[in-house]
Amino acid sequence: MKTTKHLFLLLSLFLANVAFSQNTQGNKKQEGDDWKSAEDFKKAEPKILEYIKWLEDNPTANQDIKQQKSQVVLRWLTAVPYLGVVEINGQFIENVQDSKYKYPNGLSTTYMFGKAAYYFENHNMDAVKSSTRGVIALITFYKNMLKVDKTATNPIMEKYIKLQQENKLEEFVKEELKKSPY
């Protein structure tokens, strides 16, 4: 069942990427149209990291701006020739969604973008460390949502925050990944 959810998440992100680019851009030149070589993608890395961090810090910003920045990041992630697939370890997102979190939209991309940010910050894709960075992205998203809506609490997210404060988040992620069917 979890593998099905994992595939559904990846397919949903891909279809959202395709639909958004078709619906909003038409024949207009899009950011990233000039990414042809590995060198082009490397040059774009600082901008992609900037967009990822902006999206983490501004979950309640104008929807059009968020969608535009997300689209550019997704285009980069789906076309970059040297990174491979940024896997979504669904258990960290599903736990929050299963607990009836008030704002589930954006959790999958926030987690995936957080993992990608780890790559930009460290130039490797260590599974535990990149997944931990993905959870930290979820924490950042959650804390910023709480600034706007104090009722948007979630026990799973509070657990992640506590683990982070106690410097136990990475160990928790490591143990969860060992149990993961993903």
pLDDT in tens, 108-138: 889 999 999 999 899 888 999 999 999 999 9
Q: Express each pLDDT in 36-56 by its tens digit.
A: 999 999 999 999 999 999 999
> How many domains, in total, are found in the chain?
1
- CA–CA distance, 154 with 103 (Å, rounded to integer): 10
- Which residue range(s) make up the domain with 77? 2-179
Contacts of 151 (CB under 8 A, 6+ apart): 102
DSSP conformation class of 81: T
* Angle between the N-to-C axes of helices 107-122 and 91-98, in degrees from 0 to 180, rounded to the nearest 10: 150
DSSP conformation class of 14: H
Q: List, in sequence order, the alpha helices (H) in 26-168.
A: 38-57, 63-79, 91-98, 107-122, 127-148, 155-165
Q: What is the pTM of this model?
A: 0.78
Higher pLDDT, 126 or 103: 126
- Give yes or no for a contact between 14 and 78, defined as CB atoms under 8 angstroms apart: yes
- CA–CA distance, 47 with 181 (Å, rounded to integer): 33
How big is the chain by its Cα radius of gyration, in Å?
A: 16
